[in-house]
Amino acid sequence: MERKYILPCAGYDRPGGQVSRAAAERLAIIRDDVIIGSMGALFKERPGEMRDYRTSDVFCLDGCGENCASELARARGRNDSTSIVIHEVVGSIENFEGKVDRLMQSLTQEIDKTRPRVSSKITSEPPHEIELIEEKFDKFTLKVAKGLKYSDNDFWVSTEGEQVRVGVSDFLQQMMSDVYFVELAEIGTHVDMFDDAGLMESTKILVEIIVPVSGSIVEANISLEDSPEFINESPYDKGWLYVLKPDDINELELLRDAHDYMTYALAKAKEEIGKRVE
């Protein structure tokens, strides 16, 4: 089910804003697939808002001729949003309730038109197919994603243009077992290489997030707050932790490539198993 992100006009003190707000709120109550966007949060590019925004179909409710909602949607990179101009829809209806009902009908029609997404680029998810190297050890299968760099603390880094994304390796995920709580550092936090920023708590252990590169955090995977299990289910993909703007990309030369890390992780896995047997 594709989510529907409705961006109501922010002119709450004016008729168009009031009608669009009321219609959006009522629709969100009766439909599970509808979420209400915030002009303010979208303007400030708050990470949670941006995630919802990028992963949903967008419907802009324009309360007056300024078309602020549609303009902002365009400015935030969406040219496939649906614009609904309130005064065109409600026309000559006089009373407030009548206007809200009419707008809800119109919005529902638009939402239910199954339109193919023109742009499906979701920048907050890792952008490429993940190719894995797999090695069996004891009853474990270790998976190491190709093309990433790895720290000896078992975190990965991928380069995405001028930014880097970091997460935990499959080995660390397996060693931790089920993660049930993730605390992430705030956007804008600056870390030096191997500083800790946030933590993960599993049924077995509490692990600091040791960031494998110096830089400023520009995005944090806040979906982990509700779904910490992504770390176990999908450590190289949905379980990513941060996107950073690195201070010095050359630092990554200190880290291991995938094959090298596999050798290291296997040795560590043997060590861990050995401890348990003792």
Binding site for another protein (CB under 8 A): 151-153, 192-196, 199, 204-208, 210, 254, 264, 267-268, 271, 274-275, 278
By beta-carbon proximity to another protein, the closer residue of 62 and 251 is 251
| Cα 111–chain centre separation | 23
**Least distance between another protein and beta carbon 258 (Å):** 16
**Least distance between another protein and beta carbon 2 (Å):** 40
**Least distance between another protein and beta carbon 263 (Å):** 11
By beta-carbon proximity to another protein, the closer residue of 186 and 196 is 196
Strand 196-202 relative to strand 34-36: parallel, antiparallel, unpaired?
unpaired
By beta-carbon proximity to another protein, the closer residue of 113 and 275 is 275
Whether 19 contacts 99, CB under 8 Å: yes
Q: What is the DSSP string of 135-201?
A: EEETTEEEEEETT-EE-TTSEEEEEETTEEEEEE-HHHHHHH-SEEEEE-PPTT-EE-TT-EEEEEE
Strand 56-62 relative to strand 3-7: parallel, antiparallel, unpaired?
parallel
∠ CA 164-231-139 to the nearest 5 degrees? Answer: 120
- Count CB neighbours of 54 within 10 A: 19
**Least distance between another protein and beta carbon 205 (Å):** 6
**Least distance between another protein and beta carbon 246 (Å):** 15
Whether 166 contacts 127, CB under 8 Å: no
β-sheet with 196-202: strand ranges across? 179-183, 196-202, 206-210
By beta-carbon proximity to another protein, the closer residue of 53 and 261 is 261
**Least distance between another protein and beta carbon 177 (Å):** 11
By beta-carbon proximity to another protein, the closer residue of 132 and 205 is 205
**Least distance between another protein and beta carbon 24 (Å):** 43
DSSP secondary structure letter of residue 263: H
Measured between alpha carbons, how far is 145 from 182 in angstroms, rounded to an integer? 22
By beta-carbon proximity to another protein, the closer residue of 134 and 192 is 192
Whether 107 contacts 84, CB under 8 Å: yes
By beta-carbon proximity to another protein, the closer residue of 112 and 192 is 192
